[in-house]
Each structure stands twice: as C-alpha cells, then as structure tokens.
Amino acid sequence: MEKPKHSRLVSCDEAVTVLQEGGIVGMPTETVYGLAGRIDNAPSIERIFTTKGRPSFDPLIVHVESLSMGKTIAEFGLISETLAAHFWPGPLTMVLPKLKNVSDQITSGLQAVGVRIPNHPVALDLIHRVGVPLAAPSANKFGKTSPSEAQHVLHEFSQDDVPVVDGGPCAVGIESTVLLVNDKSSELVVLRPGYITETALSEFLHEQKIPHHFHKVTNKVLAPGQMKHHYMPAVPLIILERNYISENDLENEINQILRAAPDFVEGVKIIKPAHRVERIANLRLPDDPVLAARALYGSLRNLAESGADAILFVKNEVHQGELWESILERLTKAATGVVR
C-alpha cells in the first residue's frame, strides 16, 4: 500500500509502529505537542530537525517514562533525584550530564542532556511501548507558535508527512521549565521559565533541607536555544505597554514599529506585513495565569487565522507573578515590537 504523503491523525498503535520503524510522530504532552523520535535512531533525529527547520545548534529534550529510564541517559545526583521524585511526571526539564548513549546530534554537541517525564497518558504509553526514550521538541516550525492541540500540529505540518496522535488540548499550555542542575556544586539556573516556578523549586528544596543556589547568569554556550524571538504567529503581534493612547496614535505607532522591524533576528524570520495594518485583533487572555497559559497558543493561532492584519496584546497590572512572567516571556519573544 502506498504511504499517505500528508500529516494525519493516527492511533497510538500506528504511532508505536511508526516510531519503532524510525519515523517521527506528533505526540501530546501536558505542556505542548512534541515532534517525537527515538533517541537510538540517527535518521529519525535528523528528520525532527529537518521537519521543524530547526538549526542543529539547538538541542532536543529527551522524554522518559520513569526515573530509571532517565538514569540510562543522564547522571543524577541529590538535587536532581529529589526534584524528579517530586515534580515528575510534570512540566520540568532538567539539564544533566549526559551518558554516552545520548548522541551529540541530540544535545547539539553539549555534554548535558535535557530530560523529563511528561505527565500525559499518551506520551507515557508511547515511550513505554517503544521501550526507548523519545526526543521531542515542540511540534512547530522553527521560530513559530507552539501547538497546544492536535489540529495545530496538522496545520503546522500540512506540507509534511507527520502522523499525529490526538491526546486532546494540553492542560498546561506552555512549555516546561528548563532547569540546569549542577548536583556537584548545588547550583541551579532556570534556562527557560515555565509552569514550575523558581519559587516552587526553591521552596521545595528548602523544605527538604537541601542546600542550593539559584543563578541568573547564563550564556549562549549553556543555553543555545534562547533566541530573542520565538513562538511567532503568522501575523505580527504587538504588545502595548503604555497606559493611554488614542486609537489613531496606536495604529500609527504599530505601523511605524512594523516598518522599522528587521527581517531576521538571530536567524528567526520576523513577521512583518507587506502593507499598512488596519485590522488589529485584540488577544484577550484570562486574568488567572493557569487559564491564560492554557489559552495562549490556541488564541494566538486563532487570531492569526481570523483575517486580522496584526494582533495586539495590552499588558496591564493584572499580569504579575512568576507564572505571568513565563507567559509574558513567550509573548515578548513572539512579538514583532512593543509600544511603550
């Protein structure tokens, strides 16, 4: 039988077969959908990079079903084991020293690997049945909005051949917190903020009486994937930070910002319209950051498809606290510009 040449929904059984044979699949997790392939198959890892259009310097997260499977790919110590026991399965990725069965292709040549146990029955079932850890970046084209529903993945890869398992809408809605853990020096660095906040991590380690220090400083060598722009929707997103501005002035300022925006920043294509924008759609998110995170990527995608020329997000005093900071980090990276 000839293979279908388009992305489509498949059953878990079919996804297991595809993965076993070295293919890649759209996999639901509690954070966002991932584009998964087995870590012991170089061509499938290569396909993840080429399908996403992701540069080879940006490493992949490896998903495991248990701490014991985690220990086959990374070196754990007191802090990482304690955090794993409490926060896994869940939206926490720990970057730990890699063991030799993790290829340089997965870690982009780094000596550390990002690892997590996802909290989604479908992801756990796939990893369990394939019996090998699955590498999976978010299932979107490089630099674009992440997918929080199976339909988003189908839409993103409509020109590709990606089987997708529908596991429903993602409960968390933004990507995992990426935490660099140095068990030897007890130093921790949040490389990417996420659902699990630094306060939650720190309070838990204090409760466990485990000494640790959080560092803010980081560099491109340790966090090669932290580009200035990311998550960009198909029409430009503008953030409004000013308290008062007339509608007319706002439209003028938005157009000025869009005209002045560069075409590329750090290899990421900046979304700019060809003409003056007039139809500006408001991105409205719930005040509760848990609900806002869940709604974020779906709302961005819907507005981008709505026929609007641009999307506006109005920042206000409700947007406070660590989880809102994680959401604002995504919005800031997704935005072409800010009206201050």
DSSP at 48: H
Burial of 205 (0-12, 13-18, 19+ CB in 10 A): buried
Rounded distance, CA 27 to CA 54, Å?
18
Residue nearest to ligand TXA (CB): 225
Tokens of 306: 């709505």
Measured between alpha carbons, how far is 118 from 75 in angstroms, rounded to an integer? 19
The residue among 22, 72, 20 whose CA lies nearest residue 47 is 22
Candidates 155, 129, 122, 120; CA nearest to 141 is 155
By the rule CB under 6 A, 178 interacts with ligand TXA: yes
Q: Binding to ligand TXA by residue 192, rule CB under 6 A?
A: yes
Bridge partners of 26? 35, 164
Each residue 269-308 as x (binds Mg ion by CB under 5 A) or -, in order, gives ----------------------------------------
Asked if 61 is part of the footprint of ligand TXA (rule: CB under 6 A), the reply reads yes
Q: Which of 14, 40, 58, 161 binds ligand TXA (CB under 6 A)?
A: 58
Give the shortest CB-30-to-ligand TXA separation in angstroms. 8
Contact flag: residue 138 with Mg ion (CB under 5 A): yes
DSSP state of 74: B
**Smallest distance, Å, CB 111 to ligand TXA?**
8
Question: Contact 145/300 with Cβ under 8 angstroms?
Answer: yes
Establish if 191 lies at the interface with ligand TXA (CB under 6 A).
Answer: yes
Q: Which does 60 bind (CB under 5 to 8 A by kind): ligand TXA, Mg ion, none?
A: ligand TXA
Q: How far apart are CA 113 and CA 102, in angstroms?
A: 8
CB of 96 to ligand TXA, least distance (A): 8
Size of the residue set binding Mg ion (CB under 5 A): 1
How far does CA 227 lie from the centroid of its chain? Answer: 12
**Nearest distance from C-beta of residue 82 to ligand TXA, angstroms:** 20
The mark string for 109-148 relative to ligand TXA (x by CB under 6 A, - otherwise) is -x-xxx---x-----------------xxx----------
C-alpha closest to that of 60 among 175, 162, 214, 218: 175
Task: Give, in degrees to the nearest 5, the angle at Cα 251 between 250 and 253.
Answer: 65
Name residues contacting ligand TXA, limited to 29-48 (CB under 6 A): 29, 31-32, 34
As measured in angstroms, the least distance from the Cβ of 102 to ligand TXA is: 9
Q: Name the amino acid, one letter, at 261.
A: A
Query: Closest distance between Mg ion and the C-beta of residue 163, in Å?
Result: 20
- Neighbouring residues of 140: CB distance < 8 A, sequence distance ≥ 6: 52, 146, 147, 152, 156
* Crossing angle for the helix pair 78-87 and 198-207, to the nearest 10 degrees: 110
Out of Mg ion, ligand TXA, none, which partner does residue 298 contact, by CB within 5 to 8 A per kind?
none
Contact 213, 221 (CB under 8 A): no
Does position 339 interact with ligand TXA (CB under 6 A)? The reply is no
Judged by beta carbon, residue 44 or residue 138, the one nearer Mg ion is 138
Helix (H) or strand (E) holding 164: strand 163-164
207-226 positions binding ligand TXA, by CB under 6 A: 223-225
Per rule CB under 5 A, is residue 29 in the interface with Mg ion?
no
28 binds ligand TXA (CB under 6 A): no
Could you give the CA distance from residue 45 to residue 142 in angstroms, rounded to a whole number? 15
**Judged by CB under 6 A, does residue 255 bind ligand TXA?**
no
Name the DSSP class of 271: P
Rule CB under 6 A: choose which of 16, 24, 83, 95 binds ligand TXA.
Answer: 95
State which residue has the least CB distance to Mg ion. Answer: 138
Task: Kindly list the residues in this chain that would bind ligand TXA in the complex (CB under 6 A).
Answer: 29, 31-32, 34, 58-61, 91, 93, 95, 107, 110, 112-114, 118, 136-138, 175-176, 178, 191-192, 223-225
Task: Kindly list the residues in this chain that would bind Mg ion in the complex (CB under 5 A).
Answer: 138
